[in-house]
């Protein structure tokens, strides 16, 4: 049998997604999580992620994620690593100084998991949960202002490392007016919102994994 030279065989890649409820996809179906949507979108571009490892839990702070990576570290080298963490630091009233130290440690670990290649790491900003129905009776101005401070810090650190940064903060605020972007628990975001994040991530992921 003659092999068709025009057939492109998908390349096999490993992707590690680190985070909290937004990464594990609290209150959405497994295939609606943004790492999974990204995996599916990449497949259409002949990039096959054969190993998608999501290390994330609802409620995790930077300290919780560090503890998890310490107790059960991911093995081998990943072709791409994403990091989205910090909303629970803000929610629990933890300090920016603590976040700075722990986020920096997580960024270092992310780079290590990517074979010490900073070009294979992507940091995603914390979304704005002040716009969802759950926060309606809270001080939404305070929440938004604090989240902006956390995001300024994680962006500054990421920039210092020369690592790619994707800002989804303004994008997430569209959920204030479009409730289809909110999950059924009225707190987290829906698969439709994660699809918007995926569209932002996709060009970067294709560049990293090509």
Token pair for residue 112? Answer: 């290590």
> Is residue 5 situated within a structural domain?
no
Count of domains for the chain: 1
Q: What is the pTM of this model?
A: 0.95
> Is residue 161 situated within a structural domain?
yes
> Is residue 2 situated within a structural domain?
no
> Is residue 3 situated within a structural domain?
no
> Is residue 185 situated within a structural domain?
yes
CB 20 within 8 A of CB 55: no
> Is residue 1 situated within a structural domain?
no
> Is residue 173 situated within a structural domain?
yes
H or E element, residue 210: none
CATH of the domain at 192: 3.40.50.1110
Give long-range contacts, CB 8 A cutoff, 24+ apart: 127-131: 127/22, 127/87, 127/168, 127/169, 127/171, 127/172, 127/189, 128/169, 128/172, 128/173, 129/87, 129/172, 129/187, 129/188, 131/172, 131/173, 131/175, 131/176
> Is residue 149 situated within a structural domain?
yes
| pLDDT one-digit tens code per residue, 126-154 | 999 999 999 999 999 999 999 999 999 99
Q: State in Å, rounded, how far the first CA of the chain is from the last one.
A: 29
For residue 55, how many other CB atoms are within 10 A of its CB?
A: 18
Domain hosting residue 92, numbered range: 11-209
| pLDDT one-digit tens code per residue, 62-88 | 999 999 999 999 999 999 999 999 999
Q: How far apart are CA 170 and CA 112, in angstroms?
A: 30
């Amino acid at each position: 049998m003659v092999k068709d030279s025009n057939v492109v065989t998908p390349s096999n890649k490993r992707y590690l997604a680190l985070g909290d409820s937004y990464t594990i996809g609290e209150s959405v179906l497994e295939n609606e999580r943004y790492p999974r949507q990204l995996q599916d979108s990449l497949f259409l571009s002949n990039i096959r992620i054969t190993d998608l490892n999501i290390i994330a839990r609802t409620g995790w702070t930077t300290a919780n994620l560090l503890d998890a990576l310490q107790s059960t570290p991911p093995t081998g080298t990943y072709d791409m690593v994403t990091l989205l963490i910090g909303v629970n630091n803000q929610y629990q009233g933890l300090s920016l100084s603590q976040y700075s130290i722990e986020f920096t440690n997580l960024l270092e670990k992310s780079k290590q998991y990517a074979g010490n290649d900073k070009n294979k790491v992507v940091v995603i900003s914390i979304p704005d949960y002040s716009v969802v129905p759950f926060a309606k009776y809270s001080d939404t101005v305070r929440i938004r202002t604090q989240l902006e401070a956390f995001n300024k810090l994680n962006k500054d650190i990421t920039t210092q490392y020369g690592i790619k940064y994707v800002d989804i903060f303004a994008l997430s605020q569209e959920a204030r007016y479009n409730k289809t972007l909110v999950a059924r628990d009225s707190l987290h975001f829906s698969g439709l919102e994660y699809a918007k994040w995926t569209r932002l991530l996709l060009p970067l992921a294709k560049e990293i994994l090509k």
